[in-house]
């Protein structure tokens, strides 16, 4: 820093900007993931019973359904509960149900699936296993919606991976080149160190430590700036976009992500320096 303050500041600035972009990207992806997780709770199988079995038989049936490895929970909905639910959904129009028998709706099992199994393949696996019981008249699991949801989640995952990969590569490239400039500015010093008998380790170590420190400082700054920009701009923008989708609140990066950003800075600084030094230190 003392020897080339401008280039050192440039290196820290580059790491800060590169990691800020990554942090922003991570915030958006995390919140969209939160949204898709929220939506995925809607993925459930409703298995309608022909007849309500005896109590012990019903308990056995629920237990069997719970034994399926992708199933998170099973809830029995009696005919009366189904009617009550229907009535409450109708709201002011519930009067339409007056005069109808209370048992005109079938009882059912509402089966929710574990996170990670909320997709068409897992749903159909559960349905096929339940079909073998021959106690169910029908299954409903929002087939069309599930197809669209699966495609949407796949698209989010793929675009996150591609864009994240590009951003990470671009960050590494830009940071490595800026650090190369700082090393290039001190190439005379490197040459003299080598001339007077400095070992490769002796010459490289201070530069690597400096690179790692610059990366850590850049990582810290990027978290600070990301938080400020998140609070003042991104939070509001994401809220208007995502809160209507049903999630409770917009989240900033969790602690382990923040540590990953700092570690990412150290990684960029250290390996950026190492790559540059390989070019300039040849003993």
Partner 1 sequence: MVQLFNVCKAYTRDGNALEDINLKIPKGDFVYITGPSGAGKSTLLKLLFAAEKPSRGQILINGQNLTRMRSSRIPFLRRQLGVVFQDFKLIESRTIFENVSFPLEVQGKKRYEISKKVYQMLKSVGLEHKLTKRPLELSGGEQQRVAIARSLVVEPLVLLADEPTGNLDPEVTLDIMELFKSANARGTTVLLATHDRDMIHRFPRRQIGLEAGRLVEDRTP
Contacts of 41 (CB under 8 A, 6+ apart): 112, 118
49: left (phi over 0), alpha (psi -120 to 50) or beta: beta
Q: Using the rule CB under 8 A, is 6 a contact of partner 1?
A: no
Contacts of 43 (CB under 8 A, 6+ apart): 112, 113, 118, 119, 123, 141, 142, 146, 149
Closer residue to partner 1 in complex, CB, 175/193: 193
Which residue of 193, 247, 268, 277 would you call a contact of partner 1, by CB under 8 A? 193
Closer residue to partner 1 in complex, CB, 131/282: 282
Q: Using the rule CB under 8 A, is 198 a contact of partner 1?
A: yes
How would you list the strands of the sheet with 136-140, edge to edge?
71-77, 108-113, 44-49, 136-140
Which residue of 1, 3, 152, 246 would you call a contact of partner 1, by CB under 8 A? 3
Q: Which two tokens stand for residue 273?
A: 């320096």
Q: Using the rule CB under 8 A, is 281 a contact of partner 1?
A: no
Which residue of 95, 195, 244, 248 would you call a contact of partner 1, by CB under 8 A? 195
For 248, which DSSP code?
S
Closer residue to partner 1 in complex, CB, 8/23: 8
Distance CA 231, CA 225 (A): 10
Closer residue to partner 1 in complex, CB, 80/200: 200
Which residue of 64, 84, 150, 189 would you call a contact of partner 1, by CB under 8 A? 189
Binding site for partner 1 (CB under 8 A): 2-4, 188-189, 191-200, 202, 283
């Amino acid at each position: 820093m003392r020897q080339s303050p401008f280039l050192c500041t440039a290196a820290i600035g580059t790491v800060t900007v590169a990691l800020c972009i990554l942090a922003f990207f991570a915030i958006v992806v995390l919140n969209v993931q939160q949204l898709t997780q929220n939506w995925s709770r809607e993925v459930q199988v409703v298995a309608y019973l022909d007849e309500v079995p005896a109590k012990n038989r019903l308990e056995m049936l629920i237990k069997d359904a719970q034994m399926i490895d992708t199933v998170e929970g099973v809830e029995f909905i009696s005919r009366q509960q189904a009617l009550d639910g229907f009535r409450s959904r109708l709201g002011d129009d519930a009067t339409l149900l007056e005069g109808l028998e209370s048992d005109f709706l079938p009882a059912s099992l509402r089966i929710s699936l574990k996170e990670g199994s909320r997709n068409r393949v897992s749903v159909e696996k559960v349905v096929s296993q339940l079909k073998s019981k021959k106690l169910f008249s029908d299954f409903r699991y929002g087939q069309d919606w599930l197809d669209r949801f699966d495609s949407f989640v796949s698209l989010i995952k793929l675009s996150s991976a591609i864009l994240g990969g590009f951003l990470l590569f671009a960050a590494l490239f830009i940071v490595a080149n800026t650090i190369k400039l700082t090393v290039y500015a001190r190439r005379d010093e490197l040459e003299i160190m080598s001339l007077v008998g400095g070992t490769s380790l002796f010459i490289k170590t201070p530069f690597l430590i400096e690179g790692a420190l610059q990366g850590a400082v850049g990582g810290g700054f990027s978290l600070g700036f990301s938080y400020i920009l998140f609070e003042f701009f991104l939070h509001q923008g994401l809220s208007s976009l995502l809160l209507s989708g049903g999630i409770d609140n917009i989240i900033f990066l969790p602690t382990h992500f923040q540590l990953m950003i700092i570690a990412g800075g150290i990684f960029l600084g250290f390996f950026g320096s190492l790559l540059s030094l390989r070019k300039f230190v040849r003993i």
